[in-house]
A and B are shown apart, each in its own frame.
Chain A
Amino acid sequence: MKRTVWFGVSLVVIFLIAGLLLPKWLLFLCTMAAANGVVSLGIVLLMRGGVVSFGQGLVFAAGGYAAALLSNKLGVTDALLLTAAGGAAAVLMTAPFAVLLARYRGIFFAMLTLALSMVLYGVLVKMDALGGSDGFTMSRPTLLGMKIADAWSGYVLYSIAVVATGLLSIGARIYFDSSRGLVSLAIRENELRVEYLGASVTRVMAANFLLAAFLGGAGGALAIMALGHIEPNFSYWTTSGEFVFVAILAGHTGVLGAFAASFVLELVRSFSSSYFPNTWQMALGIFLLIVIRFFPRGLGSLIKK
């Protein structure tokens, strides 16, 4: 555990220093990759227990809308506070469903989470007070009571994302290695045996779902702070699908894989869209096919080696 913390902290420091050297556009891309990566990390966490959520857009949107509303309506502007609040809001929102969903597996779990996220999407589109399908904008957050200067906003938001996702990743790694986290892996292998050994499968799965919700909500809050604009598409199934894709790309073994996969996806999307404006979706699709063909166990398997 000590090793994990040291490793995590040193990685965060390395990324913070590296950020000073990156051009602005790459800095923003990395911020978004970190924010999206942490949502996919939530799916990785669920995957360790053998289920995949196709509705992480639900918690992503819940966290994003909570952060944006707190900032716009209640004047809470501290970036770290908003990140935590985004995570908490997502947990609160999904808590009533956690126990119910914990009993489902496979396609049923995936479809139920997808349905929930689309319900939220439908509600948000109808809510004219929240801008309907056009969404609304949020002004730039503050950090520890200080305003973020224009010239440094990109780097500061990047740093916030790196530190927040770094802390969450360290937490996730510790959880993965804890006895409770390892029970998830056992559930994936044989649920019945875990029950006979005296552990409550439902409880572990419900806890996993809520932890994933916290990660997703925090990711949503980080994303909206960088983007400055939120809309119901945050909860749309294509958004959720992207998170699942990143999680599959990452594989369920490691934590870093989620961020590496998220970064690679953003990078490929950005360049294919600038070099092939008419066929960028095809370029992206071909890339994804190649990855699936040559790295069936995800990019995480590369890091492990």
Chain B
Amino acid sequence: MKRIEALLIGGLFAAGSACAQETFKLGVVSFLSGSAAESFGVPAVNGAKAVIEAFNKGQAPAPYNKVGFGGVRIEPVYVDENGGATKQVQELRNLYDRDKVDAVVGYVGSGDCLAVAPVAEEMKKFLILYDCGTPRIFEDGKYSYVFRTASHAVMDNVALARYLKARSIKAGSINYINQDYAWGHDSRNDFKAAAAQLFPGSKAQTDLLPKFGAGQYGTEISALLAQPADLTHTSLWGGDLQAFVLQAGPRDLFKRTQVVISAGDHVLPGLGDKMPDGVILGARGAYGLMSPKSALNDWWWKLYEDANKVYPVQAPYRMVQSLLGLKLAVEKAMVANGGKKPSPEQLAAALKGSEWESPAGRIRMNLADGHQATQDTAIGRTKYDAAKKMVTLVDIQRFPADCVNPPPGVKGEDWIKGGFAGAKCP
């Protein structure tokens, strides 16, 4: 009797450990509620769901065609990023300690990224930051377990300024309207510094910093119209950007000044014909309508569009590029670990300094000692296509990663102010 019991218990344990071996638990953190949910969080999570399902069925194109991660099924755990950095620190600890996830991919907010990176490092757990912009994470800190699989925000405004220069767009005077928080301040400062380099005589005029989430821009639009400049730069996003475009459109702001938006492609499907023609905008990468033609991109575009009835923009692209990189890293680390699920150390060693193809082009982990990615980007100009009933982007210009990202070991801000030393532009 005792022996049977022991056998049973042994069997249960074996089954338990076999189950634990069978899946790769992946925490996915993004905004499911709050102001960044509609523009970034939910599309990114929808992208993650579609891609993870395709991975688990082994339907992704080579070299991503292994089932799950190296034959191990992926079991995602989704967490809401809303609620502030304090809550995120707590939730990340819960993911690692309570849910026992093997890796976490997440975070849109720069404040959240700055808060969670030291936590993952302290716990010695694997963390990929997939979207947040601030260069401070790897410029001020040094991490072994934390990675960012997308370019930081310096690229966005440098590319924007280079586009204006390449197309000889007049930039004698520049107005600014950016949100009054770190992203808005940093974007404005980066563009100002880049404009000072590329358009030496240009002068900054009105510099507005409306509150984050203001929603009403009547006063600001009046101020911008009172002294129209050649250019009006903005890093507004999401609901704020939509509100600004909707309110500024009827007042002819777009006819009296060239508006440039550092990250604006995510509002195009929603705004439709309310988006004026001729606005110059970026997408924080060669994403959406500016994505390069490739078999991988076609597969991804169709996968996302079939699942969500809308084409993929910035946020889902950033999500898929991080998951593709993670997949290759896990599979590489599994080989090194004799086919077993890798440890965070083995994972980190595999991702560090690696390169992979994404729908938006090649991602290279070449900054911050192999922990920070650089990627190509593109800038385009809006044009409404009445036949297709959608905003299209024309005059698209691509910028290779080396042209718009600082070289290793140089801080983004210093790189711009030093005249983009080491940039390799075609």
Residues of B within 8 A of A273 (CB): 79-80, 83, 87, 91
Set A23, A150, A231: member contacting B85, Cβ < 8 A: A231
In the complex, how many angstroms separate the beta carbon of B284 from the nearest chain A beta carbon?
17
Within 8 A of A (CB), among B1-52: 32-33
Q: Tell me, yes or no, whether A277 is within 8 Å of chain B by CB.
A: yes
CA distance A135 to B82 in the complex (A): 17
A29 and B90 in contact (CB under 8 A), knowing A135-B85, A228-B122, A281-B33?
Answer: yes
CA distance A277 to B33 in the complex (A): 9
Set B78, B94, B115: member contacting A229, Cβ < 8 A: B115
Of the four ranges (under 10, 10 to 19, 20 to 34, 35 or more), the interface on chain B belongs to 35 or more
Residues of B within 8 A of A223 (CB): 86
Residue among A231, A233, A239 facing the most chain B CB atoms (10 A cut-off): A231
In the complex, how many angstroms separate the beta carbon of A68 from the nearest chain B beta carbon?
12
Residues of A within 8 A of B110 (CB): 134
Residue among B99, B111, B181 facing the most chain A CB atoms (10 A cut-off): B111
Q: Tell me, yes or no, whether A196 is within 8 Å of chain B by CB.
A: no
Residues of A within 8 A of B90 (CB): 28-29, 32, 266, 270
Residues of B within 8 A of A266 (CB): 90
Q: Are B93's CB and A28's CB within 8 A?
A: yes
Q: Tell me, yes or no, whether B309 is within 8 Å of chain A by CB.
A: no
Q: Tell me, yes or no, whether A137 is within 8 Å of chain B by CB.
A: yes
Residues of B within 8 A of A135 (CB): 85, 111, 114-115
Main secondary structure of the interface of A (DSSP, over half): helix
Within 8 A of B (CB), among A256-284: 266, 269-270, 273-274, 277-278, 280-281
By beta carbon, the residue of chain A nearest B78 is: A277
Residues of B within 8 A of A277 (CB): 32, 78-80
By beta carbon, the residue of chain B nearest A269 is: B87
Q: Tell me, yes or no, whether A189 is within 8 Å of chain B by CB.
A: no
Q: Tell me, yes or no, whether A102 is within 8 Å of chain B by CB.
A: no
Q: Tell me, yes or no, whether A140 is within 8 Å of chain B by CB.
A: yes
Query: CB-CB contacts of A7-50 with B at 8 A, as 1s and 0s?
Result: 00000000000000001110011001000000000000000000
Q: Tell me, yes or no, whether A287 is within 8 Å of chain B by CB.
A: no
CA distance A227 to B112 in the complex (A): 12
Query: CB-CB contacts of B105-128 with A at 8 A, as 1s and 0s?
Result: 000001100110011001010000
By beta carbon, the residue of chain B nearest A282 is: B33
Q: Tell me, yes or no, whether A241 is within 8 Å of chain B by CB.
A: no
Q: Are B86's CB and A150's CB within 8 A?
A: no
Residues of B within 8 A of A137 (CB): 114-115, 118, 141
Query: CB-CB contacts of A221-262 with B at 8 A, as 1s and 0s?
Result: 001000111010110001100000000000000000000000
Q: Tell me, yes or no, whether A132 is within 8 Å of chain B by CB.
A: yes
By beta carbon, the residue of chain B nearest A266 is: B90
Q: Tell me, yes or no, whether A153 is within 8 Å of chain B by CB.
A: yes
In the complex, how many angstroms separate the beta carbon of B258 from the nearest chain A beta carbon?
28
Q: Are A228's CB and B119's CB within 8 A?
A: yes
By beta carbon, the residue of chain A nearest B136 is: A134
Q: Are A229's CB and B118's CB within 8 A?
A: yes
A228 and B89 in contact (CB under 8 A), knowing A134-B182, A274-B79?
Answer: yes
Taking A274-B79, A281-B82 as known contacts, 14 extra A-B pairs with beta carbons closer than 8 A to each other, sorted by chain A number, are A28-B90, A32-B86, A134-B136, A135-B85, A227-B89, A229-B115, A229-B118, A231-B85, A231-B115, A233-B86, A233-B111, A274-B77, A278-B33, A281-B33
5 sampled A-B residue pairs with Cβ under 8 A:
A137-B141, A228-B122, A234-B86, A277-B79, A280-B80
